[in-house]
Structure 1
């Protein structure tokens, strides 16, 4: 272990933080709402937020979560003058593969709390991994950037440097949300080290008529242009293509990206409410944990805050980690950096030549047909699931572990003579 990699213990809430949290939750001003029940159409309703706030105030104990969290080996190390927090759980299996599990927003390293051990230990007698779970700069226990420019490109370089610093000069990347976006860029631009890429949220181009696609995937090209005339559902199947109008911040095209519009343009102004009010921050997060997750019954989903696959304690641990580190304001700035530096173009355009795997969960915020993935990546594994959503590590952990292990076994067979 390098000298500047130092052990870290996730702390308790300070006495001041506990008192402040209790006082703020006990003295909340709830907003006025329409007399008619409009469900979640206007955002997180009071009938969903208030019970969660009461649970946070009276029935949630961060010390329980902290005990679980600190079972893993935590460290911090300086990269680009920022202390970067990460979990590092090496496997004892000699055939283990290094993997980085990268979270997005509004999430933390805790999203993977159910998959770290089975991946490390090769659960069910299958592929094991050396597991690294970082906190992105500005998230959780990683330092917040103090200058502009910390977007996808910068964070990709920093995460790649972290893995190399740990001695993993060849590794697999797995992630969703920003973990998928940064991972796609890493797989395309740091392929000397990132030797394989797994994601549940693919950002790939459709089968446009490039010379390569016309040579190797002519039928996929024809099928794509047919879908433009006949519709995606008719050509690829119902629900196989979910683009949400493929817009980053244009709420006129897709109402669900309103949060991206404000976080990508005026993060400072929004941050006052999210930083000062634990209730406001929790409600801002709760909407996403409701909207982006899988509810087996759509009607029932309108009546509950969380799906049964995510417990209130799991959600509130995510919320508490943001609140205790005051990292909501710094975490949302990645949207500004990405939007203003046109980074989604840099992410989407390149083909991924390293082996790629995609786990498609039923209610993720975007889904692409297999044919698109085949033309824009070196697709080696693809699996569709009838359950799960945007946070598979919480919602469908066993399925996520199985997909990563299956991909790992395939990588091991493909690279018998190398560390992968």
Structure 2
């Protein structure tokens, strides 16, 4: 029977599934790496020492039951059936309503290899310690095919269709006007939401800023500026980083974007394989010196294993086929306020002058940080919260009043 109304959800991993995972970890073969020069240990992927350390922790110290209990107590989770074309997605989502008057609905959108738990440091936005600060209702869905959201049954479930599912979710929750925040795939999903539903999605704030080159007929001077590389030192640094990532670190996206089913057989049948696949991509996208918590890395791995889906890889193929037409080839209209935070160790970046002609007409907030990377909600949550408040404070008063929920 279809769940037309949200139903409470608790994580309950079966004993059989957990025993299967633990046995795979116990019997895991962690192969030796070649010897690398100092500073080049990650040159060929996740080093044996890093993976062996995580596997030892998983075997001896990691306790899924305790983690499961903590997740269930931290997040108010639900599922609801969302029709999208010929599909019905049983969407998993976190929903924390604020008790404050005039709270604003905030749709938080994650990407890969993240998940809904990235929103943890933002949950305090429902009741800021400073009562004069804007409060928010927090909604954080899991992408279809990720963690506990069901998977599409047929090809063609593009970013635009995910955007439709998210928009329908907000309407089901009673939020006829809302704003969004997201990075990685979440930033592109929210851009699609803003493009398709500007009367409801009044504003979006993103990290990971990507764009096509300026169009030569519409914006010849901006394109010339880019071609001649008239860039500031900081712009050169971040664009060089983007080029490095696409050249040296994007092999995973080529694999997932061409044969997602094949790689998924390997990853979902091998907990340590999934662990290494995820851990490798977490390393180069944070501030140097940032230490990933072992329990967090293993929990993120567990959440992908529990999906029993190729959705984590399939999104790359579905998006590649339609991304330019659905998102990157369009500019968000002036009806939607746009803001962005640029973190120096993120992997997506274009300068403000480029974004103005390629991403959005109504850019009201743009902030360049000196630290932080691809997962600011995890790595530097206080900075991101500050940016969200500053972004909302930059909105016209009429827009803020429209967003402030009266439910």
Q: TM over 0.5: same fold?
A: yes
User: Cα offset for 1:414?
Assistant: 4.2
| Partner of residue 268, structure 2 | 275
Corresponding pairs, count: 390
Note the alpha carbon deviations across 1:266-301, whole angstroms, 9 max, x for none.
Answer: 1111111101100000000000111212114xxxxx
2:255 to 253, 262, 284: 262
Alpha-carbon spacing, 1:412–1:56, altered in 2? closer, same or farther (3 Å): farther
Q: Distance in 2 between matches of 1:265 and 1:77?
A: 31
Asked if 1:357 is matched to 2:339, the reply is: yes
Alpha-carbon spacing, 1:3–1:35, altered in 2? closer, same or farther (3 Å): closer
| Partner of residue 59, structure 2 | 57
User: Cα offset for 1:105?
Assistant: 0.6
**Do 2:238 and 2:344's aligned partners in 1 also have CA atoms closer than 8 Å?**
no
Aligned pairs for 1:247-258 (under 5 A) are 254-258=247-251
| Partner of residue 118, structure 2 | 111
Q: Distance in 2 between matches of 1:91 and 1:264?
A: 39
Asked if 1:174 is matched to 2:176, the reply is: no
Q: Distance in 2 between matches of 1:351 and 1:210?
A: 15
User: Cα offset for 1:208?
Assistant: 4.5
| Partner of residue 353, structure 2 | 371
Q: Distance in 2 between matches of 1:343 and 1:39?
A: 34
Query: What SS does the corresponding residue of 1:132 show, helix, strand or coil?
Result: strand
Q: Distance in 2 between matches of 1:108 and 1:230?
A: 36
User: Cα offset for 1:206?
Assistant: 4.7
User: Cα offset for 1:417?
Assistant: 4.5
1:76 to 67, 75, 79: 79
| Partner of residue 217, structure 1 | none
Gap regions ≥5 residues in structure 2: none
Aligned pairs for 1:1-400 (under 5 A) are 4-11=5-12, 13-37=13-37, 38-71=40-73, 72-80=75-83, 81-116=88-123, 118-125=124-131, 126-208=133-215, 211=218, 221=221, 225-230=224-229, 232-233=231-232, 237-242=235-240, 244-245=242-243, 254-296=247-289, 307-308=290-291, 310-327=292-309, 329-339=310-320, 341-353=321-333, 354-375=336-357, 376-377=359-360, 378-400=362-384
**Do 1:361 and 1:384's aligned partners in 2 also have CA atoms closer than 8 Å?**
yes
User: Cα offset for 1:342?
Assistant: 3.0
Q: Distance in 1 between matches of 2:324 and 2:47?
A: 32
Q: Distance in 2 between matches of 1:416 and 1:316?
A: 39
User: Cα offset for 1:412?
Assistant: 6.3
Query: What SS does the corresponding residue of 1:198 show, helix, strand or coil?
Result: strand
User: Cα offset for 1:55?
Assistant: 1.0
* Deviation larger for 364-373 or 173-182: 364-373
**Do 2:4 and 2:80's aligned partners in 1 also have CA atoms closer than 8 Å?**
no
Note the alpha carbon deviations across 1:2-47, whole angstroms, 9 max, x for none.
Answer: 9532111122x32223322222112112234324454111111211
User: Cα offset for 1:345?
Assistant: 4.2
* TM-score normalised by length of structure 1: 0.86
User: Cα offset for 1:386?
Assistant: 1.3
